[in-house]
Structure formats: C-alpha cells, structure tokens
Amino acid sequence: MKIISSAGFRKPSFLLVHNELSAFTLRKPQPAYASSLWISSAHEKRLGLVRKLQCSVTARQYASTSVRSTPKPEKAHLRRKEGGSSSLYGRTSLLEMKNERMENRARVYEFLKGIGVSPDELDGLELPVTVEVMQERVDFLHKLGLTVEDINNYPLVLGCSVKKNMIPVLDYLGKLGVRKSTFTAFLRHYPQVLHASVVVDLAPVVTYLQGMDIKPNDIPRVLEKYPEVLGFKLEGTMSTSVAYLVGIGVARREIGGILTRYPEILGMRVGRIIKPFVEYLESLGVPRLAVARLIENRPHILGFGLEERVIPNIASLLEFEVREMSLASMIAQYPDMIGIDLKPRLLSQRSFLNSVIDLGPEEFGRVVEKMPQIVSLNHSPVVKHVDFLIDCGFSLEQVRKMVVVCPQLLALNLDIMKLNFDYFQSKMGRALDDLVTFPAFFTYGLESTIKPRHKMVAEKGLKCSLTWLLNCSDEKFEERMSYDTIDVEEMEMDSSFDMNTLMEPRGDESASDYDDSDDEYV
C-alpha cells in the first residue's frame, strides 16, 4: 500500500495559482482510489485550509470578473426580469413611463402648434396620449363650428373627451330643445359647459329654472340667450336677484316672463348691480314701484351700466337744457334712452331740428322732455311731417311752436294726421290757430273720440276750445256735458306724462314675502 506524503502541501501559494482548480468548485476532491487511502488527521487539517483558500480565491476572481465585464443594459434588464422585481427595476420603469408620456405629450403639442393652437395653457391638463385622439377632438370641435381662434380663447376645451363629455352634454341640450343651429354661439359664450356633468350640474339648473315659472318650452330660449346660467349655483346669485325684484314690487307672476326675456338678471349681483340701479332712478324722482313696473316691461334696462352709461347720459341731458324735474317722466316714457350712446344723438338731433324748423337750444330741451324718443327718430320721416304741416297752411314759425308744444307731430302716422285735418277743415270749421294752440288734436282717434265729442258739443250749441273738448277722459267729458257753462280753468289742463299710470295697483298682487333690507344685499 502506498502512503501519500503531505510534503506536496508545504507551499500553499502553489495552490493559489493552480489552473486546474475551478472557480466555482468547492466540493471535496474525490481521489481515484479513496478506498485504499488513509489520510492522517494532519493531512485533513491542511486539506481544509486549502479549501478555505480556494473559496477566497474564487470569491475574489468572481468579484474581479464582475467589475471588468459589466453586462449591457438590455441583458441586465432581462436578467432582472428573470430574477424577479427589485427596487432598482421599479424606479427605472417609472422613469421610462414618464419619459414616454413626455414624448407623447410633445408630439401632441407639435400637432396643435401645426394647426395654429397654442398649447401654453395646457400644462397640467390631462390630454390624449396620441395625436390621433387629439385630432378627433379638434375635428369634432370644428364640426360644431368652433374655429382655431375659438379654441385658443378657451384651450381647456381640448381636455374634454368627445365620447365622455361633449356628446352627452350636447345630446342633453338637444333633448331640451336647444337648436343645433345655435350650438356654435352657445359654445363660444360658454365652452365650460362641455366639462359639466349632465346629472350633477345641468339637470338641477334646468329644474330650478322651471321652478321660477319659466315655461318648459321657453327653457331652450333662455339657455340660448344666456348659456352661462348653467354654471350658477342654485342658492347663490339667482335666488337673491329674484328675491330683491319681488321685494321692490315686481309682481311674482311676472318673474317667469322677465327671466325668459332677459335671463341675464340671474347672474347679476344685487348689491353691485340691481340695487344701485334702482336707488339711482329713485334719486332722480322715479318712485320705486314705477321702477318695478319698468323692469316688468323692459327687464333689459337692468343691464345698462350705471357708472359707464346711465350716469353720463343723465349728465348729457342736463347739458342739453333738459330740466332736472323732467328726468323722471322722461325715463318712465323712454327708459331705453339712458342705455344708448346718448350725447352724439343729442348733438345730431339738435343740429338737425335747428336746420329744419329753426329750433333753438332751450326749445330743443323742451322737445326732448316731452318726447324723449326724439333722440332716436330718423331724419327723413321728420322732414315729411314738417312738409305736411307746411302744406296744410301753417307757417314755419307756427310749425316750430306746434312741435315745441307737441313733439309727437314729428312721429305720428301721416295718414291719420291727414284724416284728422280733413275733418277739422270740412266739419269743425275752426281756424288754424286752434291747431297751433292745441296741436295734440292730431294724436286723437277720429272715429273713437273726435267725431262723437264734436257732435255732442255741436248739438248742445257749446263753444269750446279743442283742449276742453279732447284733453280729458270719456267719463270726464260726460260730466262736462252736464255743465251749463264752460270752466275756463279746465281748458288749461296739463297734457304731460302722468307717472301714476305706471303705478296703478294690480288686482292679483299680494304683499311681498321678501324683506328689502339694506344689509341683506351687499
């Protein structure tokens, strides 16, 4: 039996560089004739030392190899996938996703810039991830009539999905009765509607409007006139504006009609717009109840800018010789006057009437007081009326006097004026001076008033002025027919506008349920 000596292991350094040792082989070597060998304990200890040294060398070689030959990113990615997820893998994936989103958004931005849409305001807005989807949205908006300029005015509309936002909203409006032909104007005024929820935002507002006595058939017209109403809170401005109007005397039964004709009232702040307007008219001498009647008849007057338009117009009237005491009756007769660009019209009409009938500045002021609509009359009809009076035999001086007393002569129906004048000449046998004194004769109905009253006076043999004959109610005239003599004072009745006609009580009105306190509306 051969005994292997341990002398071969004296120098461990020899083993450290032995090429035949595998870097990954840590198993105990298997001798070919293990059954015939007997290894001493000293030999076993040295063999264990060799194994430890082999392990150390193997670890160092592996580490050195890893540093020298770093795997490519693609292979590393695959190995991580095969080996399972790790924190490093997760961070890299999120970064890649973020970069991909940025690349997609950049492509969408380039597309928008290419068609003329500025994407500057779209940062932070959720947009389609592909150009194709954005193209679909833009095409749909174009089909609705919106231009690139419209989109640039409200670029956030590009954040609305065609299927989830636009189509449901437009379908709902169509079912309500909003005409498709008005969709373009509707969206230009209020493109925010495309962001709304039909159930949560739109339907409750429509229900609220119906509760304001707006008829269901009128709801579409209200929305077409003022689409912004769909964005108002139910218990906010809408309710307070209506409450204030009822508080100043607007009949509750008129609210539905008022809002139908001028729904913009629903968006007006009471303390900033409605209340100051009402109080200013009161300061000019228009009673509050008369203001309420004006609002019932012409609700759009609430839209006249108080500081921008109304107050400057009142100043212009005073500048053109209109007396302050006449302002209230003028506003009651023609409230639209305080909402137009008034001063240029006053200048034009004063110059025109001066050239036609030699009307002076102070006389022009009296004309405007009695018929404020004169500021809106076209020149051509005025010339025709003046020519008619001249043809009737009146001098230019007489025409001027007649116009100052009764400016309505410049706006009456010429055919009616001719019939009245023919009857005056052929049946009444009066002098032209009677018409100069009472030119309002031309304003009365021939068959309803002039003929029957003239016959009654003629049958009784009374001699009276045209003023006494015509300037009174039918009841008053019947009373006069019982007189034996004519009261001279009754011949001088004032024919100016009566403010009380605006404030006649309504039979269906009841006391207001709203308290008009100064502290409530600010």
Q: Which residue has the higher pLDDT, 246 or 500?
A: 246
pLDDT of residue 118: 86
Please report the pLDDT score of residue 473 as a whole number. 87
Residue showing tokens 């679909």: 136
Alpha carbon of 44 to those of 6, 14, 32, 40: distances in Å? 10, 18, 17, 6
44 contact partners, CB below 8 Å, separation of at least 6? none
**Region label for 213, one of left (φ > 0), alpha (ψ between -120 and 50) or beta (otherwise):** left
pLDDT class of 486 with cuts at 50, 70, 90: low
pLDDT at 362: 95
Residue 143: both structure tokens together: 């089909």
Note the residue count of the chain: 522
Query: Side chain identity at 388, as an amino acid letter?
Result: F
> Does the pLDDT at position 44 exceed 70?
no
* Radius of gyration for the chain, computed over Cα atoms and rounded to the nearest angstrom: 48
**Higher pLDDT among residues 117 and 359, named by residue:** 359
In the chain, % of residues over pLDDT 70: 75
Token output for 297: 């008849």
Q: How far is CA 30 from CA 12, 26, 373, 496, in A?
A: 20, 12, 125, 135
Give the least confident one: 49-53, 307-311, 456-460: 49-53
Whether residue 351 is predicted with pLDDT greater than 50 in this model: the reply is: yes
C-alpha to C-alpha distance for 169 and 160, rounded to whole angstroms: 11
**DSSP secondary structure letter of residue 29:** P
Give me the pLDDT at residue 102, please.
Answer: 80
pLDDT at 500: 64
Name which of 234-248, 302-316, 372-386, 418-432 the model is least confident about.
234-248
Residue 282 has pLDDT above 90, yes or no: yes
pLDDT recorded at residue 117: 86
Q: Which two tokens stand for residue 4?
A: 């292997």
- Report the pLDDT value the prediction gives residue 130, as an integer from 0 to 100: 85
Q: What is the DSSP string of 402-447?
A: HHHH-GGGGTS-HHHHHHHHHHIIIII---HHHHHH-GGGGGS-II
Helix, coil or strand: residue 17: coil
Cβ neighbors of 209 (< 8 A, separation 6 or more) are 219, 222, 229, 259
Instruction: Determine the Cα–Cα distance for residues 284 and 326; give it in Å rounded to an integer.
Output: 9
Report the greatest alpha carbon distance in the chain. 179
CA angle 236, 267, 141 (to 5 degrees): 110
Give me the pLDDT at residue 272, please. Answer: 94
Confidence (pLDDT) at 66: 42
CA 300 to chain CA centroid, Å, is: 15
The pLDDT assigned to 506 comes to 56
pLDDT at 109: 85
Nearest to 223 by CA among 244, 253, 193, 254: 193
> Over the chain, what is the mean pLDDT?
80
Distance CA 106, CA 103 (A): 5
Which stretch of 81-85, 279-283, 351-355, 416-420 has the lowest confidence by average pLDDT?
81-85
Specify the pLDDT at position 20: 39
Nearest to 403 by CA among 449, 453, 349: 349
Cα 38 from Cα 234, distance rounded (Å): 102
Residue 396 sits at the vertex; the CA angle it makes with 395 and 401, to the nearest 5 degrees, is 95
- Nearest CA to 286 out of 499, 431, 454, 6 is that of 499
Instruction: Tell how far CA 191 is from the center of its chain.
Output: 10
What would the two tokens of residue 97 be? 């996703």
- What is the rounded distance in angstroms from the CA atom of residue 329 to the CA atom of residue 249? 19
**Model pTM?**
0.71
Query: Is 330 in contact with 322 (CB distance < 8 Å)?
Result: yes
Q: What is the pLDDT of residues 189-227, one digit of tens each?
A: 999 999 999 999 999 999 999 988 899 999 999 999 999
Q: In angstroms, rounded to a whole number, what is the distance separating the alpha carbons of residues 195 and 164? A: 10
Q: Which range among 111-125, 404-418, 429-443 shows the weakest confidence by mean pLDDT?
A: 111-125
Averaged pLDDT, 276-303:
95
Q: Residue 259 pLDDT > 90, yes or no?
A: yes
Say if CB 275 and CB 302 are below 8 A apart. Answer: no
Report pLDDT for 502: 63
- pLDDT at site 520: 46
pLDDT digits (tens, 9 = 90+) for 355-373: 999 999 999 999 999 999 9
- The pLDDT of residue 176: 94
**Which whole number is the average pLDDT over 491-497?**
49
CA–CA separation, 227 and 244 (whole Å):
23
> Could you tell me the pLDDT band of residue 61, with boundaries at 50, 70 and 90?
very low
C-alpha to C-alpha distance for 382 and 352, rounded to whole angstroms = 10
Give the whole-angstrom CA distance, residue 64 versus residue 244.
88
Of the listed ranges 9-13, 280-284, 423-427, the least confidently predicted one is 9-13
